Amino acid sequence: MKIRNFSLLRPLGLLLVVACAMVACTSSSPPAAEPKFKVALLSPGPVSDAGWNALAYEGLLAIRDQLGAEVSQAETKTPAEFEEGFRDYARRGFALVFGHGFEFQEAAAAVSPDFPKTTFITTSGNTVRPNVAPLRFMLEEATYLQGILAAKMSKSGVAGAVGGMAIPSVESTFLAFEAGAKSVRPEFRTIRSYIGNWEDVGAAKEAAKAQVQQGADFLIHNADAAGLGVFQVAKSNGIFAFGTNKNQNDLAPEAVLASAVIDIPGAFVGVAKQVRDGTFHATITKLGMADGVVTFVLNPALASKIPQATRDQIEATRQAIVSKKTIVPSAEF
Amino acid sequence: MELELFTALCTAAVAMAVPLLFAGLGELLAEKSGVINIGLEGMILLGAFAAFAVAHATGSNAAGLAAALALGGVWGLGFAYFAVVRGANQIVVGTAVNLFATGLTGVLYRSIYGVTGTAMTIEPSPTIALPGARSIPILGQALLNQTPLTYVCLATIPLMALFLARTRAGLELKMVGENPNAAATHGINVARTRTSALVACGIFCAAGGAYLTLDYTHTFVEGMSSGRGFIALAIVIVGRRRPAGVLVAALLFGFVTALQFHFQALALGIPFQFFLVLPYVATLALLALNAGDTNAPAALGKN
């Protein structure tokens, strides 16, 4: 019996290896370009989320196509996996590794002294080392405008915000939304709920339903793939929702009023160029509306539902943000 | 308003409980036959994906459900081949199923719908109001105005209890789980009985997955089973491996999950993490209250 068990481990082991390989890695080689500039991405969730992770993957592909780099991507969920992912890529000679989110900064800092030739970029955070730097997207500037829009159009004066995990970068977008809303309607309330992960569409749905039950008639999410559940609740209750990170207006054209959008591909290519050319300096880089990296995109199919005066006010505020006359509040991190 | 809130809570509880119930009932059969299947999570995910992909391609949710059930059965058969026929460690096989399902659904989803995802949606399965849905307060809405798959799930519970207690096949199944050698000397084919239980387990899990995509979320997201398979494992233990116990545990978990989102929405100023753990605390509490007889088959997990 024991011997049979042992022989069985081989097919099972193979199965495991295949499964792990399938989920973890997607590599692709560019046409011959020497010397090889290698760039990798660690994403906290599936890159098929049509949102935060999908954008990073598009950024990685843009680096491949525009700079002829060899690229690779892996999905990592836990702090131990973050660190192992960074180490693995650095050991294999990758010049640049992106950790996609606030949660990657500790792992990047821990690994960085061992691999001085590799640059580690986290797409949020405040940790800076000689070869570690955060790239911060000021999505808050666009969620601030969403807040104004919600406050102007809401009947109940209550909005619901559904987050994946309560990491500072997510909390900050909600904080700015709330500030925007209060700037035009001081008594406006925003209910925040978190589901504890980024994939449970059903949980996001229940969270949003509970908020609607409490009077919310606008919904905003920052829950990546799970955010789809929020759009469904908006749709079935005949209320509006806002898209986050990617232009999500077409995911539920009758419910998504506007999206706060980050041009991650453009930003990724910019950083990758600097690293390749040796001009990169480790510092906190903030990219927002003034840089054209963050935009506020109205859903053309629903734009007619917004009163002209409100649209004018949003445009005026947008220009004030771009010209730095209005400073959008964000969480300290 | 209070009544309305309670109705919403109960409706959400049933919706959250159905996938857990399906997977839990499948696990109950497998465990009664003496096999631990920790691959529920992967089987749910596969069922969810198959149901979604086929429903999306054909426009028929019934076709999606049929595909999911068929795949679930095949997957159960595969599990049985390794764990029963070849006598491999059941925990290892279950782990392999979970990892393989995560990889397979991810690769297939990306190759069919694009790597960065396009957020496909399908038509929700219709709900059918049974007589009394409007007239009975709270429970009428929660239990009698549901999708067909929900009714099937709820109807399975008494049927399974009857099957285990009153039918020859049910008694044979339990005998195999308690003492496979004695069962074999009575002319019961142990391998065949366990294989049948595992095929049924696969079908049940796939039904739970199909419910997630067809009836509940109308979309597919990688990893969307989000640990439901593991909760279902716990629910089987909390429910003392009895269909009615599994029902109570699943409904409790569903109810407290729905409740905690309502607590979060009340904005009481309490950290949300406190609410997120509530369903698990409630499940543990039920387990503690009900401590003692685990009702575990004597040969559970042994080859």
> Which residue of chain A has the CA closest to B103?
A23
pLDDT at A96 over 70: yes
State what percent of residues in chain B have pLDDT above 90: 73
User: Collapsing DSSP states into helix, strand and coil, what is residue B83?
Assistant: helix
Confidence bin at B5 (pLDDT 50/70/90)? confident
Q: What are the boundaries of each domain within chain A? A: 11-138+264-290, 140-262+292-322
Instruction: Calculate how close chain A gets to B41, using CA atoms only, in Å.
Output: 13
CB-CB: which of B82, B107, B109 is closest to A12? Answer: B82
> Which residue of chain A has the CA closest to B265?
A211
Which of A136, A35, A45, A25 shows the shortest CA–CA distance to A95?
A35
Instruction: Calculate how close chain B gets to A321, using CA atoms only, in Å.
Output: 30
Least confident of A161-170, B120-129, B208-217: B120-129
Q: Is the distance from CB of A167 to CB of A103 less than 8 angstroms?
A: yes
Instruction: Tell whether B258 is within 8 A of chain A (Cβ).
Output: yes
Size of interface A-B (CB pairs under 8 A): 171
Distance CA A128, CA A33 (A): 31
Give the DSSP H/E element, type plus range, for residue B143: helix B139-144
Instruction: Tell whether A96 is within 8 A of chain B (Cβ).
Output: no
CB atoms B110 and A50 under 8 Å = no
Instruction: Calculate how close chain A gets to B163, using CA atoms only, in Å.
Output: 32
> A206, A218, A247: best mutation site toward chain B, by most B Cβ within 10 Å?
A206
- Residue A170 exposed, middle or buried by CB count within 10 Å (0-12, 13-18, 19+): buried
User: Collapsing DSSP states into helix, strand and coil, what is residue A167?
Assistant: coil
Distance CA B218, CA B108 (A): 18
Distance CA B197, CA B191 (A): 10
For residue range B160-188, list pLDDT tens digits in order.
999 999 999 999 999 999 999 999 999 99
Q: What is the mean pLDDT of residues A50-60?
A: 93
Distance CA B253, CA B24 (A): 12
pLDDT at A172 over 80: yes
Which of A200, A103, A241, A172 shows the shortest CA–CA distance to B276?
A200
pLDDT at A26 over 70: no
| Residues of chain A contacting B103 with CB distance shorter than 8 Å | 18-23
CB atoms B265 and A166 under 8 Å = no
pLDDT at A115 over 50: yes
Whole-complex ipTM: 0.88
CATH code linked to domain A140-262+292-322: 3.40.50.2300
CB atoms A22 and B109 under 8 Å = no
> Which residue of chain B has the CA closest to A18?
B100
Max Cα distance, chain A (Å): 79
Q: What are the boundaries of each domain within chain B? A: 2-289
> B260, B264, B274, B280: best mutation site toward chain A, by most A Cβ within 10 Å?
B264
A231-A237-A239 Cα angle (round to 5)? 70
CB atoms B262 and A213 under 8 Å = yes
Say what the pLDDT of residue A24 is: 47
Confidence bin at B260 (pLDDT 50/70/90)? very high
**What mean pLDDT is reported for chain A?**
89
Say what the pLDDT of residue B255 is: 93
Distance CA A210, CA B258 (A): 8
Least confident of A34-48, A103-117, A126-140, B198-212: A34-48
**What mean pLDDT is reported for chain B?**
92
pLDDT at B301 over 90: no
For residue range B111-132, list pLDDT tens digits in order.
998 887 777 788 888 888 888 7
CATH 3.90.1150.10 for domain A11-138+264-290, yes or no, is: no
CB atoms A213 and B5 under 8 Å = yes
User: Residue A284 CA to chain centroid, in angstroms?
Assistant: 17
Contacts of B166 (CB under 8 A, 6+ apart): none
CB-CB: which of A5, A55, A210 is closest to B261? Answer: A210
Contacts of B184 (CB under 8 A, 6+ apart): B190
Looking at chain A from residue 9 to 38, which residues have their Cβ under 8 Å from any Cβ of chain B? 9, 12, 15-16, 18-23, 26
Which of B248, B226, B218 shows the shortest CA–CA distance to B40?
B226
Say what the pLDDT of residue A261 is: 95
Sign of the CA dihedral running A292, A295, A301, A302: negative
pLDDT at A139 over 80: yes
Max Cα distance, chain B (Å): 64
For residue range A227-267, list pLDDT tens digits in order.
999 999 999 999 999 999 999 999 899 999 999 999 999 99
For residue range B56-114, list pLDDT tens digits in order.
999 999 999 999 999 999 999 999 999 999 999 999 999 999 999 999 999 999 999 88
CATH 3.40.30 for domain B2-289, yes or no, is: no
CB-CB: which of B107, B116, B272 is closest to A193? Answer: B272
Helices (H), B33-81: 40-58, 61-80
Burial annotation A205-214 (CB, 10 A radius, 16+ → b, else e): bbbbbbbbbb
Helices (H), chain A: 2-24, 52-67, 79-91, 105-111, 140-153, 168-184, 201-213, 228-237, 264-277, 308-322
Q: What is the mean pLDDT of residues A40-62?
A: 93
Which of A265, A266, A277, A262 shows the shortest CA–CA distance to A119?
A277
Q: At what angle do helices A228-237 and A201-213 cross, to 10 degrees?
A: 40
For residue range A267-320, list pLDDT tens digits in order.
999 999 999 999 999 999 999 999 999 999 999 999 999 999 999 999 999 999
